[in-house]
Amino acid sequence: MESTTVNKFRDSLKSFVEHVAISHTPLRVKLRTGSDFVVISAEDWERDQETLYVLQNTSLMRQIADSSATHNAGTGHTPNKEQLDEIVGV
């Protein structure tokens, strides 16, 4: 994670924000008081929120683990051509 001071951040706000949005690299901004904050793109924040939701959902995590186990064992469902066409929208 890149970092900068609050003074540099304020002086070059536009370029810092554009860099964060384009590169998807979070930026830590350090305040004179010793505290700090992080700037991230909205896309990254939304992705992180979705990830947290999945990780906190016990039922969904169990479904993912079960699906992974059946896939690894080769016992999962294999769709036929009609089902596969419907899935991919053909």
Judged against a pLDDT cut of 90, whether residue 76 lies above it is answered with no
CATH number of the domain bearing residue 31:
3.40.1620.10
- Residue 79 or 11, more confident: 11
Q: Whose CA is closest to 20, among 3, 47, 41, 1?
A: 41
Q: What is the pLDDT of residue 44?
A: 97
Q: Is the residue at 90 inside a domain?
A: no
User: How many independent structural domains does the chain possess?
Assistant: 2
Domain that holds residue 45: 41-74
Q: Is the residue at 29 inside a domain?
A: yes
**C-alpha distances out from residue 36 to 32, 43, 70, Å:** 9, 21, 45
Q: Is the residue at 82 inside a domain?
A: no
Q: Is the residue at 80 inside a domain?
A: no
Q: Is the residue at 87 inside a domain?
A: no
Tell me what the pLDDT averaged over the chain comes to: 94
Tokens 């008081």 correspond to what residue? 33
pTM of structure = 0.67
Q: What angle do CA 57, 59, 60 make, to 5 degrees?
A: 65
Distance CA 39, CA 16 (A): 9
